[in-house]
Amino acid sequence: MSSTTALKELSDLLGFLGNEQRLRILRAIAEEEKYAREISEELGISRPLVTIYLKQLEKRGLAVGTARVTDDPPLMRRYYRAVPFALVVDLDLIKNLREE
């Protein structure tokens, strides 16, 4: 985050990351890539919800998905891995937030 970050942008990101299931999914793909069903079984979260959260993580640039052909059904799987990032929120950042 830069000093020109908008208040709403930071609030949205913190709210997004404040979801326990999203954090668990992010942690699950932090060290090795996995596909939705694998994550679903590992975490005990429904596959449709895992898929939604993975797409949201990808849209925000926190994860990257790669489609691959496999020998086992389904023949096409999308594997996800976390993208390294740092988020530092301190008083200086908060003082310099734009109101936009």
For the stretch 32-71, pLDDT in tens is 999 999 999 999 999 999 999 999 999 999 999 999 998 8
pTM: 0.85
Residue of 19, 18, 39 whose CA lies nearest to 30: 39
- Of 1-5, 13-17, 46-50, 76-80, the poorest mean pLDDT is in 1-5
For domain 7-95, say whether CATH 3.30.1490.190 is its number. Answer: no
Please state, in angstroms and as integers, the Cα–Cα distance from residue 33 to each residue in 11, 49, 66, 79, following that order: 28, 18, 9, 6
Mean pLDDT over the full length of the chain: 92
Q: State the pLDDT at residue 73.
A: 83
